[in-house]
Structure 1
Amino acid sequence: MAGATREQTGDLTIQQMAHRSGFSEPTLRYYEKIGLLGEVARDESSGHRRYGPATVDRVEALACLRSSGMTVGGMRRYLDLLAEGDAAAAEQRELFAAQADKLAADIQQLRLRLTYLRRKADLWDARVRGDTEAEKQAVEDVMRVMDQFTLKD
């Protein structure tokens, strides 16, 4: 690949890998230490990490999983199941379905928090305008939203 950069060929430094994946350099080192990345190649002259194409692919997959809220344990489970191939397809399905359910619940809680903040803004807006009726309605709206919060929050 004449003229190709390291990033194009997949031979990335830790800084390039961090930038590309969104993980910090310490996180990449930690993931390597706990075995999520496998063995990361080292530059013979400097000893610095060099992320080859297979490791780049793995880090990018882990970044997607992490961005969905998956825990390190979940990512480890995914990699273990991946190594089993199609024989673990049903377990992979369950892993991803469970993570999707968790993410849906998280989104629902975030929407509730957003509604709460908007109702509080309405309350303060009514107070600024001196509109006691709107303020009374806003207080009721805030209380109704607060009743929906779960103990998890």
Structure 2
Amino acid sequence: MSARTTPRTYSIKEAAALTGLPASTLRYYESIGVIAPVGRGESSKHRVYSEADLDQIMSVACLSAAGLSVKEMQQYIANGQLGASAASRQIELLTTQQERLALEAELLAVRQQYVRLKIAYWQAVEAGDETQVELLGAEARRLADQLKRVKR
């Protein structure tokens, strides 16, 4: 004979703590259809999250962490419900995000290079190395111009 076990459920506070998303975000995502409607307690009518709900929320949290907008997450979820027939739309959506992230990474790399140059510049100033000050200053100006041209 096996003992019948009741599946573990979680309050919104617990779900928020486990997923890293604030309770207000969980309610908002549910209200706009980014996550499926969550069950309610029989007497309290408070949200009751299942393990499957938490899995879905974690997937959405990962999409958000990857930089997808709410609209894009809605589209991703809608496409996902269509299965293979929407695979090309999923690929397009994710490829667009991948390209945006690559551009952000490139911009971040230029910013990091600029900061490294400015550190080296001030080290040269501190050391009294006028030749390095001039070279590094010119390079920093070039990078600053590059940063101005990059569209955000």
Which bin holds the TM-score, normalised by the shorter protein?
Answer: 0.7 to 0.9
Which is worse superposed, 114-123 or 20-29?
20-29
1:139 matched to which residue of 2? 137
1:77 to 68, 75, 78: 75
Q: Distance in 1 between matches of 2:151 and 2:10?
A: 41
- After superposition, the C-alpha distances for 1:24-70 in whole angstroms (9 at most, x for unaligned) are 22211211222211211222343332211222121111111111111
Normalised by the size of structure 1, how large is the TM-score? Answer: 0.86
2:18 matched to which residue of 1? 20
Letter of the structure 1 residue corresponding to residue 97 of structure 2: Q
Q: Shift of residue 128 of structure 1?
A: 1.8
Local SS of the residue matching 2:146: coil
When the two structures are aligned, how many residues end up with a matched partner?
A: 149
2:151 matched to which residue of 1? 152
Q: 1:134 to 1:81 in 2, by over 3 A?
A: same
2:36 matched to which residue of 1? 38
CA contact (8 A) 1:123 1:138 kept: yes
CA RMSD of superposed structures (Å): 2.2
Local SS of the residue matching 1:127: helix
Q: How does 1:2-151 map to 2 (within 5 A)?
A: 11-149=9-147, 150-151=149-150
Q: Shift of residue 151 of structure 1?
A: 4.7
Q: 1:92 to 1:132 in 2, by over 3 A?
A: same
Q: Which runs of 5+ in 1 are unaligned?
A: none
Larger Rg: 1 or 2?
2
- After superposition, the C-alpha distances for 1:88-135 in whole angstroms (9 at most, x for unaligned) are 111111111111111111111111111111111111221222222221
Identity of aligned residues (%): 34
Which is worse superposed, 105-114 or 48-57?
48-57
Q: Distance in 1 between matches of 2:44 and 2:18?
A: 22
Q: Distance in 1 between matches of 2:135 and 2:70?
A: 45
CA contact (8 A) 1:10 1:56 kept: no
Letter of the structure 2 residue corresponding to residue 140 of structure 1: A
